[in-house]
Amino acid sequence: MLFAAVDSAGFKIVLSLHLVSAIIGFGGIFILGFVGAASQRHQGREGQAVFDTAQQFGTIAEYFIYAVPIFGIALLFMSTTNGTHVYWWDQTWVSLSLLIYIATLGFVHAVLRPNLKRMGALMAELNAGGPPPGGGSGPPPQVAELEARGKRAGVNGAIANLAWVAIVILMVWKPGL
């Protein structure tokens, strides 16, 4: 049958979609850290344009990241040989991968994305121009906040990327199989 076993054409198609989604989604997000660093090397509207483009690309990559567990779970149900599941929820690598995925996605949505959104707003405020509040001299207060948030974004992005790498390692090595 088309979708009956791990050696079926259907299983291979879904596995290919799972892998392509992981490569585009996680790879795209991983690269965005470098793009974010590049936006810091540019001042003003140019830096904001790089940042905004990275955020738009990140939104596209997210859709692929959301597809990864959908195809992965489909593979669990399709992974049969002689009526027995080859891969199933009780295997360490499956349950741990899904747990790390859910935790990382929560971290990204609760910590990383709000920080990046605020960074974008700060850049827009700075690029809108005008004198610093209070008429004082020196850099506007947004500059210090933007720099601090940039450092946090780097650390938080690295944490998320390490979690994605941990998932890939679990998928390749399959402990508990």
Cα separation, 87 vs 72, whole angstroms: 10
Inter-CA distances, 45 with 52, 58, 84, 117, 131, Å:
10, 19, 58, 16, 17
Q: Where are the beta strands (DSSP E) in 41-165?
A: 80-81, 84-85
- Determine the pLDDT at residue 67: 98
Structure tokens, 116? 């990046």
- Determine the pLDDT at residue 132: 61
Cα separation, 126 vs 73, whole angstroms: 45
- Determine the pLDDT at residue 3: 57
Nearest to 78 by CA among 9, 1, 11: 11
Cα separation, 136 vs 127, whole angstroms: 18
Single pTM value for the model: 0.88
User: What's the half-sphere exposure (Cβ side, CA atoms, 13 Å) at 51?
Assistant: 26
Along the 177 residues of the chain, how does pLDDT read in single tens digits?
455 688 899 999 999 999 999 999 999 998 988 888 888 888 889 999 999 999 999 999 999 999 999 999 999 999 998 889 999 999 999 999 999 999 999 999 999 999 999 999 999 999 997 666 555 677 888 999 999 999 999 999 999 999 999 999 999 999 987
Cα separation, 170 vs 26, whole angstroms: 15
- Quote helix, strand, coil % in the chain, to nearest 5: 80, 0, 20
Structure tokens, 67? 């597809």
| SS3 annotation, 64-78 | HHHHHHHHHHHHHHH
